[in-house]
Structure 1
Amino acid sequence: MKFDKPVTGGPCWAELGTTDLEATKRFYADLFGWRPQTDLSAEMGGYTIAHLGDAPVAAFVPLGEEKQPVAWFVTFAVADVDATSAKVRAAGGSLAMEPGDVPGMGRFASAVDPDGAAFQLWQDQGFAGAGLLNAPGSLGWVELAARDPERARTFYTEVFGWSVTSSPEYTHFGVDGAEFGGMLAMSDMYPPEVPPHWLPYFVVEDVDASTDAAAAAGAGIAMEPTTVPNGPRIAVLRDPQGGVFGIHREYTEG
C-alpha cells in the first residue's frame, strides 16, 4: 500500500468481530502496541477503536450471536455509499446490510461479492477511517482469496474502478497507480468449507519475531513466515479467538 491515509476506492479500515472483547484487546495491544478504547454507550454495543499513538487504526466488535464466526472485515472508502451499493447489485453482488448512518461519523453498508466474500463500504462524514496506513502496527495490505478470480476481477473493477496488474501467480489491485492489495485463487490447500474472503495484513518490523510473540500469546500459525520472491516477508496468524489476519514487512532491495 503506497498511501498513508485513506483514499477513495482504497481500504480505509479493518474491523474484527470477536467473542471475547477483553482478551482480544489484550492480545492485539501486546502484539501491535495498540491502545483500545471502548465506547460504553448502549447504542454502540461495546464498539472498540484501537489506536496507535493518537491515530485510530482498527476496531473490535463484540459478536452478538454465537453462530457468528470470529473474523476480520475489510472496509473500503467510497464517495457515496448508496451509489456504490447500487453498483454492487448491478455487478452481481448483494448487500448483507443496507446503507445506514453512524451519526457524526459516516454512512455504512455491508456487501458480499458474487463469489461470497464479504466486505464493507464507508462514506466519510466526520470519520475517515484509519489515521495511519502502511506503517508498523497499521494496515498495510488487503488480500482477496477467491474461488472464481475472473468473476471477482470483473466485479471489483466495475464497482470501484480499480487498476489491475496480473501475473499467473497473483493479481494486484490499485487506485490511481498506488497498489493496496491483491487477489489469489483458492487452491486445494483451502478446505472446501472455507469461503472466499478478504484478509487484512498489518505491518510489523520483524515478521518472525511477531509470529513468535503471537504464538506465545496463544495464537495459531496458519502460514509460517515466508518471503515472497521480490516481495514482502509475510505470515498468516489466527488469534486466540479464531480471527485470521496477516502480518508483513515490505520488501526493500539490498
Structure 2
Amino acid sequence: MPTRDTPWPAGTPCWVDYGAADVDAAKEFYGQLLGWEYSGGDPEFGGYLNASRNGRAASGLGPLTGEGDSPAWTTYFATDDAAATADRIRGAGGQVVVEPMEVGPMGTMVIAVDPQGNAFGLWQGGSHTGAQVYGEPGAYVWNEAAVEDTEAARAFYSAVFGFTYEAVTMEGETDYTTFSTGGDPLGGLGGVHPGLPKGWTTCFGVASTDESVAAVQAAGGKVLLPAEDTEFGRFAVLEDPWGAPFSVMEVPAAG
C-alpha cells in the first residue's frame, strides 16, 4: 500500500491532526479505532503527539490551544513556501490565524480560514515531511470540504493552490468536484448537506466500516450518515464522543 518518505507536492493534503479536549481519552479512542501507536508529547512542542500505523506516521494529536476551540480534525496542505502561500490566502480573501511558525527542524506550519470561515492548515516539510502512510486502514484516504458557496470556494482554493476541478456525478450530490494540481484527484469540494459536517473533513481507511461504526457508537460517538455502499467503498460519516466529525471508508488492508 502507498507510503511516502519525501515532501509532498505543493497543494496536496499532506497531514491531518486532531485538537483534543481530553488528550488521553482521544488517544485511547482513535488508537483503538484506527490501530495507532503514539510517540512524542514533549512539553517543548506543546504535548503534540505523532500517531503511527505499522511504524509510519499517519496523523497528529495534541491539546486544544485556542480558548473556546472545539475538538476537530484539521487538514494541512503541502507548500514549498509557507510565507508566500499565506500571502496568497490573504490576497484571496482568507485569514491567516497562525502566521508561518517554525516547529523546530520538523517544518513550518500555518493555520488559516477561507473566506467562508472553514479552517485548514499549511505544512512546509523539514525533517517531518507529513504523512508516511495513506490510502489503507489506519490512514487517511480522502479530504474534502463542504461549503455554503461552492463557486466562491473553488475560486479561492484555485487562487491559493492552483487547483483545477472536475465534476463528479454521485447520488445525492449536485455540485461536487474533485480538485487537483494537474494530475490525479487530491480531494473533493461540494455543498453543505443538512445534518452533515461543514468545512474540511477527513476520511480514514478502515478494514470494516460496519465494525468501525459499532465501535464509535459503543464509545459514545454518533452516526451522522449510516454506512452505505458506494463505488469507492463502504462509507459512513461519524462524530467522535467529543463532537468532532470524520468519516470512514472500507479499503483493502496493506499487502
Shared fold (TM-score greater than 0.5)? yes
What is the SS of the residue equivalent to 1:178?
coil
For 1:151, the equivalent position in structure 2 comes to 152
After TM superposition, the structure 1 = structure 2 runs for residues 1-254 of structure 1, keeping only pairs within 5 Å, are 4-5=3-4, 6-40=8-42, 42-64=43-65, 67-167=68-168, 168-187=174-193, 189-190=194-195, 196-228=198-230, 230-249=231-250
What is the SS of the residue equivalent to 2:186?
strand
Within 1, Cα distance between the matches of 2:66 and 2:99?
A: 19
TM-score with structure 1 length normalisation?
Answer: 0.90
Within 1, Cα distance between the matches of 2:166 and 2:14?
A: 21
What is the SS of the residue equivalent to 2:185?
strand
* Runs ≥4 residues deviating over 6 A: none
Within 2, Cα distance between the matches of 1:64 and 1:96?
A: 12
1:250 CA displacement: 5.0
Within 1, Cα distance between the matches of 2:108 and 2:45?
A: 15
Aligned residue identity for 1:132: V
Within 1, Cα distance between the matches of 2:141 and 2:209?
A: 13
Aligned residue identity for 2:115: P
1:88 CA displacement: 0.7
What is the SS of the residue equivalent to 1:179?
coil
Q: Give yes or no for contact 2:135–2:251 (8 Å, CA) kept in 1.
A: no
Q: Give yes or no for contact 2:235–2:247 (8 Å, CA) kept in 1.
A: yes
1:175 CA displacement: 3.3
Within 2, Cα distance between the matches of 1:29 and 1:176?
A: 35
For 2:171, the equivalent position in structure 1 comes to none
Q: Deviations over 1:53-83 (max 9, x none)?
A: 1111111111245511111110011110001
Q: Give yes or no for contact 2:163–2:179 (8 Å, CA) kept in 1.
A: yes
TM-score with structure 2 length normalisation?
Answer: 0.89
Q: Which runs of 5+ in 2 are unaligned?
A: 169-173
Q: Quote the RMSD (CA, aligned, Å).
A: 2.0
Aligned residue identity for 1:115: Q
Identity of aligned residues (%): 35
Within 2, Cα distance between the matches of 1:117 and 1:134?
A: 24
| Aligned residue-pair number | 244
